[in-house]
Amino acid sequence: MKKLIAQHDYKIFTVNTIQMTLNQKAGCFYQIVPPDWVNIIAFYKGRLIMERQFRIGVEESILELPGGVIDKGEV
């Protein structure tokens, strides 16, 4: 059985605190609910396009595919 204990809305995602029983052990779990997002695989003259983006989690710039959050109303 699953029970939502708390829900916290942040600018870029929602965090749910869920109480569940798994294998006869009860515990609290944290669920990140991100918005819809998209990445693209783009080529220009036969070369893959990547972008360098600073990511706070690893505290450095990394190469990644271009992408972003899908705004409400976009398809």
For 26, the domain range is: 1-34
The rounded distance, in Å, linking the Cα atoms of 39 and 48 is 13
Domain shared by 73 and 60, yes or no: yes
Domain shared by 26 and 55, yes or no: no
Domain shared by 5 and 18, yes or no: yes
Distances (CA, A) of 58 to 22, 31, 61, 62, 65: 32, 21, 8, 9, 17
Domain shared by 24 and 48, yes or no: no
Domain shared by 48 and 74, yes or no: yes
Domain shared by 40 and 75, yes or no: yes
The rounded distance, in Å, linking the Cα atoms of 58 and 47 is 27
**pLDDT (tens digit per residue) in 19-58:** 999 888 889 999 999 999 999 999 999 999 999 999 999 9
Domain shared by 16 and 28, yes or no: yes
pTM score > 0.75 for this model? no
CB 4 within 8 A of CB 20: no
Domain shared by 22 and 41, yes or no: no
